[in-house]
């Protein structure tokens, strides 16, 4: 096994045992990128020089034994909607094509302080809007398991980079499933923490009331470690909560014996691929075998989730994206007057999906429609949240599929946005309710494509879903599979 294939915790142990240096580890990852990213195209920017400098710095700290951070010297990738000081941040949009931020996102600063090596910025659907990583202004990313397929989205670049060993682990953002859905497509672990658990400061906003930063890793322990490093209150983010951060990595063991796991009947419906359903059912059976009590539960407002999401997310996005107007940074069109400068800059700078969502959101908020759309959606959102509150009265976590299908083919759904929107049908409710959820591999379909299992937790109970995920992972082999083993 090459160094680049190591998990975060294994890489950290290897560095601590001096079996390799951070520079060697970083070179291995850079070599891997050089070898495979021409096909996969997970990255938008690879910061070779910066990564080497940071690795040398990390080696110095490692030799001085001054830091006990498990991230010290470990090469990580960031979705290109995290602001990185001095390193181009595009959000996969032409409108920010040459934008170099003057400051680091809070999570990026935390990674840097922990000594992590930031290798580069990964591809995404423009402004994190999409479920396939095809809606990038620059190029689509390919699924490492099958180059004809999408890696999922919007954090498709981060998912593909982790799956292809082009980094040790990565961070993504999840507004309606953008971490978990590509994690499922790429056979890795993706964790969306509770809303408010991780700072959003310095993340290019898509939908402020749902966006959340989370880890994308090769196994569950890595997710726990990475979450530990980025979680916590940030005075610069008014929506981040003041709650102590548990030692997630120490809460993994203990198994599922006696835990009550809810299985919502509304999540197993027509339209999902039979192989996905079978794999998820097998996973549930495995958890039951380990001593979990499986409860049949109902989340009655599930069918409204996609509609509600596309009202609220687009409304917030239409406002959040207003600042990209060509005035202070980013793309500015040459035009005759002020109004035309606005219109043309945005016309040229934004892609079709972004424009579609801005228009939807603008409409939903406009006078005369606000009550019918935005306010109504907020009311239904409250009902969806209440569904979960009621469900959690009788269970400790909820187990569902992450996606109704495995990764689809590139181009297959780009002509039909509504079809594309449905690929997040199992993940969206979680964002509307602000809950934590994790996706981890639970099998493969006949074509050898990974299938994701989603575990949803109570608010701020990341520890329980990590424990359930770890128990499942330890009993199975899925997470050890690599795309090249596919056969």
Partner 1 sequence: MNYEPVIGLEVHAQLLTDSKIFCGCSTRFGAEPNANTCPVCIGLPGVLPVLNRKVVEFALRAGLATHCEITRASRLARKNYFYPDLPKGYQISQYELPICEHGYIDIEVSGATKRVRLTRIHMEEDAGKNIHDQHGDSSLVDLNRAGVPLLEIVSEPDLRSADEAVSYLKTLRAIVQFLGVCDGNMEEGSFRCDANVSVRPAGSDRLGTKIEIKNLNSFKAIEKAIAFEIERQSDVLSGGGQLVQETRLWDEHREETRSMRSKESAHDYRYFPDPDLLPLVINADWIAEVRAGLPELPAARKARFMQGYQLPAYEAELLTSRKDIADYFEEAVTAHANAKAVANWIVGDLFRVLKEQKLDEEFYIDRWPVAAERLGELVRLIDQGKISGKIAKTVFAEMLSSGKSPQQIVSDKGLEQVSDRSSIEIEIDRVLAANGKQVEQYKSGNDKIFGYLVGQVMKATGGKANPQTVNNLLRAKLQ
Active-site positions read 79, 154, 178
From residue 178, give the alpha-carbon distance in Å to each of 111, 165, 213.
Answer: 21, 20, 10
Q: Which is nearer to partner 1, 322 or 383 (CB)?
A: 322
Residues 371-400: x where in contact with partner 1 by CB under 8 A, - otherwise, as a string: ---x--------------------------
The correct pick among 18, 289, 323, 379 for binding partner 1 (CB under 8 A) is 323
Site for partner 1 contains 200 (CB under 8 A)? yes
Q: Which is nearer to partner 1, 324 or 392 (CB)?
A: 324
Q: Which of residues 403-432 bind partner 1 (CB under 8 A)?
A: none
Site for partner 1 contains 254 (CB under 8 A)? no
Nearest distance from C-beta of residue 179 to partner 1, angstroms? 18
Q: Which of residues 443-482 bind partner 1 (CB under 8 A)?
A: none
Strands 75-79 and 117-122: parallel
Q: Which is nearer to partner 1, 269 or 338 (CB)?
A: 338
Residues in contact with 321: Cβ distance below 8 Å, sequence separation at least 6, in sequence order: 127, 350, 354, 358
Q: Which of residues 28-87 bind partner 1 (CB under 8 A)?
A: 83
The correct pick among 50, 57, 100, 237 for binding partner 1 (CB under 8 A) is 237
Q: Which is nearer to partner 1, 236 or 447 (CB)?
A: 236
From residue 152, give the alpha-carbon distance in Å to each of 141, 186, 375.
Answer: 9, 8, 31
Nearest distance from C-beta of residue 128 to partner 1, angstroms? 12
Residues in contact with 422: Cβ distance below 8 Å, sequence separation at least 6, in sequence order: 271, 306, 404
The correct pick among 20, 344, 365, 382 for binding partner 1 (CB under 8 A) is 365
Site for partner 1 contains 202 (CB under 8 A)? yes
Q: Which is nearer to partner 1, 102 or 274 (CB)?
A: 102
Residues 281-320: x where in contact with partner 1 by CB under 8 A, - otherwise, as a string: ----------------------------------xx-xx-
Reading phi first (left if > 0) and then psi (alpha if -120 to 50, else beta), residue 408 is in beta
Q: Which is nearer to partner 1, 63 or 366 (CB)?
A: 366
Strands 212-217 and 293-297: unpaired
- Distance (Å, whole) CA 468 – CA 296: 17
Q: Which of residues 121-160 bind partner 1 (CB under 8 A)?
A: none
Q: Which is nearer to partner 1, 72 or 198 (CB)?
A: 198
234 phi and psi angles, rounded to 5 deg? -125, 115
Q: Identify which of 128, 420, 425 has the alpha carbon closest to the alpha carbon of residue 299.
A: 425
Site for partner 1 contains 344 (CB under 8 A)? no
The stretch among 178-186, 256-264, 363-371, 461-469 that binds partner 1 (CB under 8 A) is: 363-371
Nearest distance from C-beta of residue 367 to partner 1, angstroms? 5
The correct pick among 257, 370, 416, 419 for binding partner 1 (CB under 8 A) is 370
- Can you give the binding site for partner 1, defined by CB under 8 A? 83, 89, 91, 96, 99, 101-103, 105, 200-205, 207-209, 235-239, 315-316, 318-319, 321-325, 327-329, 338, 342, 362, 365-367, 370, 374
């Amino acid at each position: 096994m090459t160094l680049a294939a190591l998990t975060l915790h294994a890489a950290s142990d290897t560095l601590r045992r001096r079996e390799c240096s951070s520079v060697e580890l970083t070179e291995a990852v850079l070599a891997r990128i050089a070898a495979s990213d021409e096909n996969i195209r997970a990255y938008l920017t690879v910061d070779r020089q910066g990564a080497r400098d940071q690795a040398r710095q990390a080696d110095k700290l490692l030799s001085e034994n001054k830091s006990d951070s498990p991230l010290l010297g470990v090469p990580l990738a960031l979705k290109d909607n995290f602001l990185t000081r001095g390193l181009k941040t595009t959000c996969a949009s032409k409108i920010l094509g040459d934008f170099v931020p003057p400051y680091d996102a809070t999570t990026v600063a935390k990674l840097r302080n922990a000594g992590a090596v930031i290798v580069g910025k990964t591809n995404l659907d423009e402004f994190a809007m999409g479920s396939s990583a095809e809606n990038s202004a620059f190029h689509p990313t390919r699924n490492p398991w099958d180059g004809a397929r999408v890696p999922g989205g919007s954090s498709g670049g981060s998912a593909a980079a982790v799956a292809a060993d082009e980094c040790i682990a990565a961070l993504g953002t999840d507004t309606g499933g953008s971490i978990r859905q590509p994690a499922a497509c790429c056979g890795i672990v993706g964790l969306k923490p509770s809303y408010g658990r991780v700072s959003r400061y310095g993340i290019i906003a898509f939908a402020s009331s749902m966006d959340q930063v989370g880890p994308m890793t090769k196994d569950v322990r890595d997710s726990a470690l990475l979450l530990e490093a980025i979680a916590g209150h940030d005075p610069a983010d008014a929506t981040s909560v003041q709650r102590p951060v548990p030692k997630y990595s120490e809460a993994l063991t203990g198994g599922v014996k006696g835990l009550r796991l809810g299985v919502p009947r509304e999540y197993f419906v027509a339209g999902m691929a039979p192989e996905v359903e079978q794999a998820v059912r097998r996973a549930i059976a495995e958890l039951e075998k380990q001593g979990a009590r499986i409860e049949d539960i109902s989340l009655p407002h599930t069918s409204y989730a996609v509609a509600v999401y596309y009202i609220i997310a687009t409304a917030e996005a239409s406002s959040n994206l207003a600042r990209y107007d060509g005035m202070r940074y980013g793309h500015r069109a040459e035009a005759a007057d002020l109004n035309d400068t606005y219109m043309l800059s945005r016309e040229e700078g934004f892609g079709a999906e972004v424009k579609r969502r801005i228009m939807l959101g603008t409409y939903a908020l406009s006078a005369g429609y606000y009550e019918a759309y935005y306010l109504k959606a907020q009311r239904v959102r409250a009902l969806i949240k209440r569904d979960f509150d009621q469900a959690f009265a009788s269970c400790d976590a909820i187990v569902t599929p992450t996606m109704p299908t495995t990764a689809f083919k590139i181009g297959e759904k780009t002509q039909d946005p509504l079809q594309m929107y449905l690929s997040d049908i199992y993940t969206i409710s979680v964002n509307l309710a602000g809950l934590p959820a994790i996706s981890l591999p639970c099998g493969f379909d006949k074509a050898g494509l990974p299938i994701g299992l989603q575990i949803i937790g109570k608010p701020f109970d990341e520890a329980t879903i990590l424990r359930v995920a770890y128990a499942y992972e330890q009993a199975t082999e899925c997470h050890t599979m690599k795309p090249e083993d596919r056969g």
